[in-house]
Every structure is written in C-alpha cells, then in structure tokens.
Amino acid sequence: MQSQKEFLQELRKHFRLNIYEVKIWTALLSRGIASAGELADISGVPRSRCYDVLESLEKKGFIIMKIGKPIKYLAIEPEAILERVKMNIREEADQLASQYESIKETEEFKELELLHKTGVQHVDISSISKSIVGKAAINRHVKDMLAKAKSDILFVSTNENVERSLKLMKNFMPGFAKKGINARFYSSQSKGIAKKLQNVEYMEYNVNSTFVTIDGKEMLFIVSSQNIAPDYEVAVWIESSFFVNAVNVLFEESLK
C-alpha cells in the first residue's frame, strides 16, 4: 500500500499540481466543503499560503468558492477533473504540434536540411542499416516511415501483428489518395480487415512475417518471435533501393 507521501507525489504528477495544491485539494475532497482555516489545519499547509493555493486551484477548476461568512470551498469530483486535465493536455499537444510544424518554414530549419543534404553526399546510403530494440521504438520508426512515404507502401503482417499494423497505419490512411500513394496490405487474416482499411488495397495471403517497405527505398523487418517480451522485440531497418526492390519483386513473385 502506498504511503501518504508517495500518494501525494503521484497525484502531483498525474494532475500537474504543486505539493501545496495537492495537499489542499485532497484535504477538501476528504471534507467535501470547508473553510480556508479548516483546510490549513487538515492539510498542514501554512495559513499564509492557503489562500494563494485555493485561488490557484479555483482558477484551474479543481474547486468552487462558496460566498459566505466565512468563505467556504467545494470540491469538484475527481472524474470531472480528470476529463478537464485530459482536455487541457490535448489542447497543449495540438498547440505544440502546430508550433513545430511552423518550424519547417524558418531559415534555421532550411539550414539544417542543407547541412543534411551536404553531409549525405559523403555517405553510402545504400549500406545504411540498423537494429531497433523494443516494441515502442519499432512502432515509432514505422510511423516515421509511413509519414515520409511519397509513392508506395507495402505492409505485410502476421495474424498476431494485424491489429498493431492497422493501428500504426490508421492516422496515415486518409492521406494516401491525396498524395497518390499506392498502399497495399497483406495478411492471412481476412475477417473484418477490409472495413478498417481506407485508401489501401487489401489481399489475403499466407504470411509468416511482418515487414513494411516504403517507396522501394527503405524497409523494416521484425525479426524477433511473437512470444518475446515487448521490451526485447527486435527489428532491422535497411535503406537500400537495390535490396528493398529485390524483396518487393520476390514477394510479388510469391503471390503468383
């Protein structure tokens, strides 16, 4: 069972409050309605700070002030608070995403791209490859690949990875037609999959591996077994037009 200190620290993290705010809020939740003085006594927050903390909690929507003599405060139910915090986080995330998107238009970003293109000339791109460890890291890399796709996507998935593969593609599918991307998805599991695909050609095929190729240039292949723990899952990423096109041709031949 958590100690009170651990409990308060977890609440601070989850609801993005400082320690005084957490102490006052939990004290008010335990009473339902209370005055500032009562809350100071229950929570251990100094009376000199109590009114500032209550004002902050009211602005954040955690409590309601009830006018009277003395002024008392009402606690908002935790479920409503949780929904408000989630909404605030989503709004902040949207704002951050918009800010980062605007970075593309800055002179600094153009300088970075120029540096990269200049440096790439000294690297044999066809030999670039690396291993990626951990399910979360692999998922992020696949999303990065899908985001960069310009013309062709081949996604092949085992039955065990079907739901995961569809989830990775979900947010990108609406843009495939607009970008003119030829997207194909192969799996030996056919039930209900076609309904979940948008702008993607689906074909049922006896598949025993999971991999994705993008624009005939790069490929990610999951090499670990399905039963391995997520943190130890391993995939190999390769950027080589020669190799990826060879894999695509072999796969297409196997369909005949």
Residue 182, strand partner residues: 152
According to DSSP, residue 199 is labeled S
Return the H-helix or E-strand segment holding 240.
none
Helix residue ranges per DSSP H, 35-77: 36-43, 47-59
Beta strands in the chain (DSSP E): 33-35, 63-66, 72-75, 128-133, 152-157, 182-187, 201-204, 211-214, 218-222, 234-239
CATH of domain 128-254: 3.30.870.10
Q: Which CATH architecture has domain 4-79?
A: Orthogonal Bundle (1.10)
Closest CA to 212 of 148, 162, 154: 154
> 251: which 2 tokens?
């796969």
Domain chopping of the chain, boundaries? 4-79, 128-254
Residue 211, strand partner residues: 156, 221
Give me the tens of pLDDT residue by residue for the chain, a chain 256 residues long: 457 778 778 877 888 888 998 898 888 888 888 888 889 898 899 988 998 999 988 888 888 888 878 888 888 888 888 888 888 888 888 888 888 888 888 887 777 777 766 665 555 555 578 889 999 999 999 999 999 999 999 999 988 888 999 999 999 999 998 999 999 999 987 777 878 888 899 888 888 889 999 999 999 999 987 778 888 899 999 988 888 888 888 888 877 7
